[in-house]
Amino acid sequence: MITLRHWLKPEGRQTLGYHAALLGGVALLVSTTISVADWLTHADIAQRQLEDLQATLQQVVPARYYDNDLVRDTVTVNDGNRTVVVYRARREGQVQAVCYQITAPGYGSTEMVMVIGVDRQGTLLGVRVISHSETPGLGDKIETTKSDWILGFNGRSLSDPPVEQWGVKKDGGVFDQFTGATITPRSVVKAVKGGLEFFARHRAMLLDESSKGKD
């Protein structure tokens, strides 16, 4: 109590004890505020992220493919050294399409994160980029808000175009590159192809058919 009163006078504030108490007090104050703010916003943020996920999944899997709660029907697949969470779109209980995240190496050591939707036959329903750090004005044409380029994957599969033509035009493939940016589309094309190969490897499991036999 004596110390506290001492600190209230300006000359009492030049002590080590006051400095420590000030720093500690401010740290306590801000961490309390942030905890309260986190508690207030946590549910809302989780809800927003779920809505974002839903909105993205709906872009790569058209609504006519499912009548289930897409976001909650998941299966986790071990593929080499990574695990992939796959969202399954079912209609009347049968899996009609699946969607999952794929990543591609991006600018610097960053990653581009995408979701792809694939139907039962292994045909691409859609590809969307969720996050990336590509150069604005160049590599960011992979976003649907900037250009239609990524829609060019719709309807493609591992046999259309043939495997050796799964590349950008500069490499003898069928997909456009961007003026001034070849590396970004090249990386995306490669990752999408990888995504389709993942589907081919785990088809039975993804379509939930392993126990029911072939259709």
Partner 1 sequence: MNDYRGIFADGLWNNNVVFAQMLALCPLMAVTTTATNGLGMGLATTGVLLAANVVIASLRQFIVDQVRIPVFVLLIASLVTLADMAINAWLHELYKVLGLFIPLIVVNCCVLGRAESFASKQPVAASAADGLAMGLGLTLALVMIGGCREVLGSATLFAHASLLLGDSFAFLETTLIQDYKGFLLMLLPPGGFLVLGFLLAGKRGMERVMEKKGVKEEFHCSVP
Determine the interface stretch with partner 1 among 39-47, 163-171, 192-200, 202-210 (rule: CB under 8 A). Answer: 39-47
Residue 105 gets the label, from left (phi > 0), alpha (psi -120 to 50) or beta, of: beta
17 binds partner 1 (CB under 8 A): no
Closer residue to partner 1, CB minimum distance, 168 or 181: 181
71 binds partner 1 (CB under 8 A): no
Closer residue to partner 1, CB minimum distance, 14 or 83: 14
Rounded to the nearest 5°, which phi and psi values hold at 42?
-55, -50
4 binds partner 1 (CB under 8 A): no
Residue of 4, 23, 151, 204 interacting with partner 1 (CB under 8 A):
23
Closest CA to 119 of 91, 79, 77: 91
13 binds partner 1 (CB under 8 A): yes
Distances (CA, A) of 119 to 75, 145, 207: 16, 25, 9
Looking at the DSSP assignment, which residues form a beta bridge with residue 213? none
18 binds partner 1 (CB under 8 A): yes
Distances (CA, A) of 18 to 26, 28, 31: 12, 15, 19
Closer residue to partner 1, CB minimum distance, 28 or 163: 28
CA atoms within 13 A on the CB side of 115: 20
Rounded to the nearest whole angstrom, what is the least distance from the CB of residue 208 to partner 1 in the complex? Answer: 33
Interactions with partner 1, residue window 145-174 (CB under 8 A): 145
Closer residue to partner 1, CB minimum distance, 162 or 180: 180
State the distance between the two ends of the chain, measured CA to CA, in whole angstroms: 81
Cα 64 to Cα 27: distance, rounded to the nearest angstrom: 53
Residues found near partner 1 in the complex (CB under 8 A) = 13-14, 18-19, 22-23, 26-27, 30-31, 33-34, 37-38, 40-41, 44-45, 48, 51-52, 135-138, 145, 179-180
